[in-house]
Amino acid sequence: GGAGRVYTYTSTPDTSTGDGVAMYYRLGYPVSNMEFTQFHPTCFYNPSPKSPDERRVLIAEALRGSSTRGKLVLHPDSTEDLVLPYSPLGSAASRDVVALAIDTEMKKHGLMHVYLNVTPEVTGLTAEQLINTYSDVYKHCLAAGVDITKEPIPVVPAAHYTCGGIPVDANGRTEVDRLYAVGQTTCTGIHGANRLPNSSLTETVYWALK
């Protein structure tokens, strides 16, 4: 599959270590667009996870969307949207813009993570509304010692999808005779430098059927 596990934080399973792409490359054949990795901007930051799964918990993007209006901030006591210098939409900007903004600010300030503030003071929602609407996020964060109704959530960008891989044709054929490939291990050309959810679903279904 993909190669998300080469990064510390990723939404992908432990098996996503790019083995298929590596084997193909070691045969002497070219791979494409491996520099294009999509990042989910808000993965729960856990420096001491009890299991690898705890490094894969994604915080719903709706929390920073136009309806909830959560803000990404540099420090827990800040309400200044760190994404505003990168987009007039601020934290509600698209995934790629937000992930790049977070990564840039983390490097600029020497931070291990940033915060997503969705407290009632910032969003205008009541604690009850937050809990009912985002029950899974609330439960996970609370189990990790973070009450999202009272304090911001520590988050970090996570590798989410490998857009590049083994070049294939419309039937999934590679340059190796009788070798076919499908899924995140391939580069079909459908994604370019980014990936949309519907595009990856279409890709998986179409090339698998072919």
Question: Mind spelling out the 3-state secondary structure of 157-187?
Answer: EEEEEECCEEECCCCCECCCCCCECCHHHEE
95 is catalytic: yes
CB 155 within 8 A of CB 105: no
3-state secondary structure of 202: helix
CB 102 within 8 A of CB 84: no
3-state secondary structure of 205: helix
The b/e string for 171-180 (b: 16+ C-beta within 10 A; e otherwise) is ebebeeeeee
3-state secondary structure of 161: strand
The candidate with the shortest Cα–Cα distance to 203, out of 41, 35, 31, 185, is: 185
Catalytic, out of 64, 95, 173, 178: 95
- Cα within 13 Å of Cα(111), Cβ side: 20
Distance CA 134, CA 149 (A): 11
Give bridge partners of residue 159 from the DSSP assignment. 10, 39
> Which residues are annotated as catalytic?
95
